[in-house]
Structure 1
């Protein structure tokens, strides 16, 4: 059984290099998930073998599972044996020579050796499935250990990059050498590059795993997000661009969008704040969906094991077996199982009924493993054994994800206060420099046209030889632009890093983006006036 997603008709024209790039990215995406798909493929083959199917039928069924990346290679073996009349040993060896993925290549070589030795397919497939589960678990745990270390490294990189930005800012103000604008621009890009390097290394370290499927049928929360996304996200981006970025870059002082609104203050952070508020409903739905998908994955182990045991032990249909499952143990799957039972008991198409069940679950694991149980039992497989095999594969992934959640929760709880500290620091320093600039400029207003830098260079003691430019008059708007880009780079990097470590759906980027946008916006609105108010107290003025 195959749950198909919506398909877009192929275009009749070529995209040239762009099309090649898209194909390369698609191929790379398959390679990243190859280990997961290999586990699902072996689970599928081990389940099919319980039905005592022929080797031809097993390879044919696997080759039809296009959602599994290894299916392409199994299809090649099927074509070589059934169309070109090669024996399976030769066909597996020929296909293995063309495979780049080392683990999949070794699997085909072992398969060829087992067939040549006359080993029964069911024994070989069950042994390979159990072995690969152990190997996959060990690899996942090693990736988690690497992720833990790179999470600590990322926070160190983030702190270092932010402090370097502050040092550059102070050095440009204190020591005049070259064009300060060029120096600050280079520093801003360097800060962004360092932050992105940390994000990239986190991506390299994390176990490659998906949590949410990409079917056309989605969970209730995912459906709501899909409707809100095209409307809210563009508006949120426009708020950031037109309220925060453009006024800062163009030095607009007449208020928001030059409309004369909210005059007399620094409202650069308002764009971030409004964007965060706009994205808040989507972020909230994304978080709810993530929690529900996790609970459904956990409940699926009990559900599929019970379904297989009841169907096999009582010899009843799937619909009857569903009615006998204790609903108290279904948790978040309870409502979906009830809907599935109603559809099947009414005589609706089982394929469509199961597809609705999988789609409404929103889970990547359930979408991969449900089809294994349905196909295997439909072809005569032992429902009890198949249910145990599928439940075991699901439980393995759920337990590994729980370990990952433990690491990700600590990481996110660390970078949120770190983000607050870094943004507050850069805002505090830039605002102090702006205030000092105004104070020093006021002190030299009686120099009759002599600028601040020239006056300072005439001081005795050879101080002019130090090329000190603290009074050289760096534009305040340049400081504001530099501060804004540093905050943007921190917000983007932390949003990406949080979800990469978490391993959530694409929608969850909006959840973390909402958090960091709100924090950045609030700090940008509070810190500058607070610093300015502090330095206008009588003790400072006198």
Structure 2
């Protein structure tokens, strides 16, 4: 009986997944027949070709196995791409949902009617896919003469996001029952924040699970690569092809985990980049970037020309007393100048985070004081600018000066957000400014914004802890993997030399046991250096993705991880040689 129940449950699950997949095909912009003809059928043909090649080619098994994996990846991507596309749309709807609802709440407290609230948000491209959904609701009301609650109920059945669908459904019900938009949104604020926190924390928990999976997979791939390096010395198979195939698989696995981390990380950008209003911080970061990349380019040319013998000037000539360098240094020294923009950015990013911490107190004080004194922002800022708001104090003082010089308030506030360079400060400042212009209560606006931003900052602390543990994991795995790689390489190198010594001194034919002649040790070492540099790059990208910071922040971790890998590689080879020499 239990077997029948399990079978029925399995069939029901498969049926639901199949229906969900077909629904995603129907919601594509491309017609289903066209997608099947031009994408799905060619991917099936490519998969069949890769399977046939893996059976026909006479390469070793470790080289042939990845070939059909490539075809299966293409087929899997083609079959599930519509589902992935729908999931991405769902994430876009969920990512900025709490900000959109906060903005809607602020607008609802002003003197405009409820349809104008929806029109205002529909015209704001900041919310991306959410703006498109609100635009569809406005179109149903204005063009097709539907009531707002009917339009909301209709769109709730179409959107892929359960959170947004539930919000539309409840909003349609309450408005149909006669409750005002303002009352409903003020009542729902706490629940919306809790829902957002639940989704955010769920994403962080998924990242924790992915870290454990990543640790297991990297350990497995490290073992496979060491096995691929050492095994040919006993079997006589071509080691270069074997090692190259495992390296490609290793890179493929790491790339997959990076993409998974990027898809699972909560959307919570730190930086704000207005192109029309550059700041001194942005100029400093840009200059440091050009300096770092320029020096890296010069050192890279010296490294390549020196190691290939195309130029007498190489990296060793730049270091007094050094005639030769270990191979890993030829890879890591050229990228070292990238540390310059990384450190500059890291310092600037700390100031942005410090401004975020002070902004809730500032906006609450501004709103409360404006309501009590019944005065303008300029008059209130004349007092607030003398209070200590940390790194934000300088920006508040500049805002007061611009408003006092009779600069248009909108422009003054936009210069303020541009100087702060914070995404949250820019978003919530725009909400406050728009709410004040439309006659909203400044005290209520300040309290709403402060409460929402404090909740986001609390979640960011949890994200910071998750990032810290990820950094520790990646740095530890980088050192451990490099140690294992180069132990395998040095063991093969020692066995090769041992075989030569035995052949020449004792006249023993060790070629029946050890086959060192199949190895090109410098080439194997070069491939290992390539994989540790690529691993350092992907690990740095993972840190930046989970952290949510500036892209240039990747450079600092990339340089540090590269140096750790290179030093561990050199130390490992020295250690093995020392022990064997002592032995």
TM-score range, shorter chain: 0.7 to 0.9
Residue 514 (structure 1) aligned to one of 559, 563, 568: 559
Partner of residue 102, structure 2: 43
Following TM superposition, by how much is the alpha carbon of 1:68 offset from its aligned partner in structure 2, in angstroms? 1.2
State the partner residue of 1:7: none
1:379 counterpart = 2:438 = yes
Kindly indicate whether residue 456 of structure 2 is the aligned counterpart of residue 456 of structure 1. Answer: no
How far 1:229 moved relative to its partner? 3.0
Residue 82 (str. 1) matches residue 142 (str. 2)? yes
* Stretches of structure 1 lacking an aligned partner (at least 5 in a row): 1-16, 18-23, 458-463
1:320 maps to which of 376, 379, 383: 379
User: Does 1:352 find its partner at 2:431?
Assistant: no
- Structure 1 residue 490: Cα displacement: 2.2
1:530 and 1:67, CA in 2 relative to 1: closer, same or farther beyond 3 A?
Answer: same
Cα deviations by residue, 1:424-477 (Å, 9 ceiling, x for unpaired): 3323432342244234324434799xxx9xx335xxxxxx5xxx4443441112
Q: Does 1:133 align with 2:178?
A: no
Distance 1:264 1:183, change over 3 A: farther
1:331 partner SS:
coil
Q: Pick the aligned partner of 1:397 from 456, 468, 480.
A: 456
| 2:520 aligned residue (472, 475, 496) | 475
User: Is the contact between residue 106 and residue 431 of structure 2 (CA under 8 Å) also seen in structure 1?
Assistant: yes
Distance 1:223 1:489 in 2: 30
C-alpha spacing 1:400/1:218, structure 2 compared with 1 (3 Å): farther
Q: Shift of the alpha carbon at 1:219?
A: 5.2
CA-atom RMSD, angstroms? 3.1
TM-score scaled by length of structure 1: 0.82
- The alignment status of 1:101 with 2:174, answered yes or no, reads no
User: Structure 2 length as normaliser, TM-score?
Assistant: 0.77
Deviation at 1:529, TM superposition (A): 5.2
Counterpart CA distance in 1 for 2:270 and 2:157 is 32
1:211·1:363 contact (CA, 8 Å) conserved in 2?
Answer: yes
Q: Does 1:146 align with 2:206?
A: yes
Q: How many residues align?
A: 496
Structure number with the higher helix fraction is 2
Partner of 2:283: 223
Judge conservation of contact 2:331–2:529 (CA < 8 Å) in 1: no
Q: Which has the higher relative contact order, 1 or 2, with Cα contacts under 8 A spaced 6 or more apart?
A: 1
Question: Alpha carbons of 1:392 and 1:496: their partners in 2 closer, same or farther (altered >3 Å)?
Answer: same
2:530 to 485, 510, 515: 485
Query: In 2, distance between residues paired with 1:274 and 1:67?
Result: 42
Q: Residue in 2 aligned with 1:274? A: 333
Shift of 1:83: 4.4
How far did 1:376 drift? 0.4
Q: What displacement does 1:210 show?
A: 1.4
Secondary structure of the residue aligned to 1:341 is helix
CA 260–212 in structure 1, closer or farther in 2 if over 3 Å, else same: closer
Q: Distance in 2 between matches of 1:79 and 1:93?
A: 14
Residue 56 of structure 1 is matched in structure 2 by 115
1:172 aligns with 2:232: yes
Unaligned runs of 5+ in 2: 1-37, 39-82, 317-321
Q: Distance in 2 between the 1:25 and 1:350 partners?
A: 43
CA deviation after TM superposition for structure 1 residue 296, in Å? 1.3
Q: Quote the Cα distance in structure 1 between the aligned partners of 2:524 and 2:301.
A: 18
**Quick one: distance in 2 between partners of 1:29 and 1:328?**
44
Separation in 2 of the partners of 1:347 and 1:26? 48
1:160 equivalent in structure 2: 220
Work out the CA distance in 1 between the residues paired with 2:297 and 2:159. 43
Q: Tell me the residue number matched to 1:498.
A: 543
* Contact 1:48-1:376 within 8 A present in 2 as well: yes
